[in-house]
Amino acid sequence: MTRKFFVGGNWKMNGNKESYKEIFAFLNENLSSDVEDVVVGVPSIYLDYVKNNLPKNIALAAQNCYKVEKGAFTGEISPDMIKDIGATWVILGHSERRNVFGESDELVAEKIGHSLEKGLHVIACIGELLSERESGKTNEVVFRQMNAMKNHIKDWSKVVIAYEPVWAIGTGKTATPAQAQEVHQDLRKWISENISKDVAENVRIIYGGSVTGSNCRELAKEKDIDGFLVGGASLKKEFVQIVNARV
Ligand SMILES: O=C(CO)COP(=O)(O)O
């Protein structure tokens, strides 16, 4: 298996310049210089500040952006702006964007397409609600979300898929390794049948939802789990343990 392990920290709408200093300190002290593919997603107003203080081997992501280059879209930021300040990634389709801010599959897919065209790398998030899981619709939901994206993605090499079951986000209820592996495996099969075998083999599918220093190693043993997207624990020292889950 050649897929490189990938860990993203999603800081969401947390922290400030002062509290980020602690994060810079534990990343500087504890992260070995040869880590690969570690990205942190930062509130847009702090992207520039974090860029100037983060260890250089960690990449920077915005947590959202709009689907066009520029214009009268008050409050939005564009992929060009994200690139301009030196960030290289954007998180799109996070469940909080979908469920709190009402972003549709189509809007998420358009944002992904535009970000890729502009040269950003994308963490594309998908995942089902608890009610959807309980009614046996997990695959139907994640395949529908994937299908919308498929029409807008030409180059999958710059995409990481984050499977984040909504019921596991911020709840302390992690999917079991077997539950996560099952969905990741089904996703890879769907990709093989609907996109290509090559993309299915190479695209990284990471898991998100209450990942911690203590559960990351078991999850990381599963063959289709290629890393994590971490919320709460990415603000704490244990993030380093998660980055090293396969070491
Ligand atoms: O939403 C998440 C990452 O994007 C997961 O959040 P938690 O790790 O806090 O559950």
**For residue 149, which amino acid is it?**
M
Please tell me the predicted confidence (pLDDT) of residue 116.
Answer: 98
What is residue 174's predicted lDDT score, i.e. its pLDDT? 92
With residue 9 as reference, give the H or E element that holds it: strand 6-10
Q: Is the CB of 164 under 6 A from ligand 1?
A: yes
Active site residue 76: no
* Cβ of 41 below 6 Å from ligand 1: no
pLDDT tens, position by position, 129-166: 999 999 999 999 999 999 999 999 999 999 999 999 99
Q: What CA–CA distance (Å, rounded) separates 117 from 39? A: 20
pLDDT value, residue 33: 67
Q: Where are the alpha helices (DSSP H) in the chain?
A: 17-30, 47-51, 79-84, 95-99, 105-117, 130-134, 138-150, 177-194, 197-202, 216-220, 239-243
Q: Which one-letter amino acid corresponds to residue 38?
A: V
Q: What is the pTM of this model?
A: 0.97
For the cut 70, the answer to whether the pLDDT of residue 1 exceeds it is no
Q: What is the mean pLDDT of the chain?
A: 96
- Report the relative pairing of strands 204-208 and 227-230 from DSSP bridges: parallel
